[in-house]
Amino acid sequence: MNALAAVGVEVHGVARGPQATPCIHHQANLLDPGRVYSLLKTIRPDAVLHLAWCAEHGKFWNDPANQVWAEATFALAQVAADAGVRRFVGTGTCFEYDWPKEGDCGEFKTPVIRHTPYDVAKTECCTRLEAYFRSAGVAFAWARLFFLYGPGEDQRRLVASVARALVLGQKAQCTRGVVTRDYIEVRDAGAALAAITLGTIQGPVNVGSGKGVRVADIATMLGRLAGRPDLVELGVLPDRPDDPPRIVANINRLQLEVGFRSKFDLESGLAAALEYWRSRERQ
């Protein structure tokens, strides 16, 4: 929402509770289609950017609510089309892909595959929305998010857990960190989503940095930036079984068709994450 507001568009945000974002707030439950229909008919937006889903850390992979949100998303699509929305952007996940052992995930090159109820629900939702919006004459894009980090993330996630431990002067215990991932700073991801929403691109589009980095290198970079490399302990935690060796985005569509460029490189993003946790601990 910050990125959309920054370019001067009128932004309406819908959430169950108050949100600290620069937009016109509407308190509503998106699982209530009647309330959503009333809101959309009143606001009459040009475009909808749909972000809501079950996302509780450690639970969302197998949460039965994945199917509930898939159905709610399709209901939102129907009322959006009926309300005259001309563009709808949904958010998927890099876990939809059948990750190649070498090379990057491409929207039209890399097949999708079933991993967990979470990614299955996302993939099925995308397929259903694409067919529906094609018949309804509504432009549709599906943003597949890669690995986000930055202000506000759950402290149990990789960057947050290591950064928080370091600013507290505690040991940052990690796995060996041998897998490669594509991490994008959350504000960059927000700016990319804003650009997709305001643009004309249709179909799936990857939202990532386009750069692979080993998890171990993220942890050690955080240790160096914090001035406490001695606190980073690699190999203390067990590696996850069957963890895919590489998940990295091909971002040609994002760069060439959307025209998006990241503001943060990995080092500046991790430095900002450290400062965020320093400020939290000072409060």
Of the two residues 16 and 245, the one the predictor is more confident about is 245
Calculate mean pLDDT across residues 190-201: 97
CA angle at 38 for the pair 118 and 140, rounded to the nearest 5° = 45
CA angle at 28 for the pair 10 and 51, rounded to the nearest 5° = 65
For domain 2-282, give the CATH number: 3.40.50.720
User: Do 255 and 209 touch, CB atoms closer than 8 A?
Assistant: no
User: Do 149 and 159 touch, CB atoms closer than 8 A?
Assistant: yes
pLDDT in tens, 138-160: 999 999 999 999 999 999 999 99
Asked whether the predicted pLDDT for residue 267 surpasses 70, the reply is yes
Q: Give domain limits for the chain.
A: 2-282
Distance (Å, rounded) from C-alpha 149 to C-alpha 183?
7
Asked whether the predicted pLDDT for residue 283 surpasses 70, the reply is no
- pTM of the predicted structure, to 2 decimals: 0.95
For the chain, the maximum distance between any two Cα atoms, rounded to a whole number of angstroms, is 58
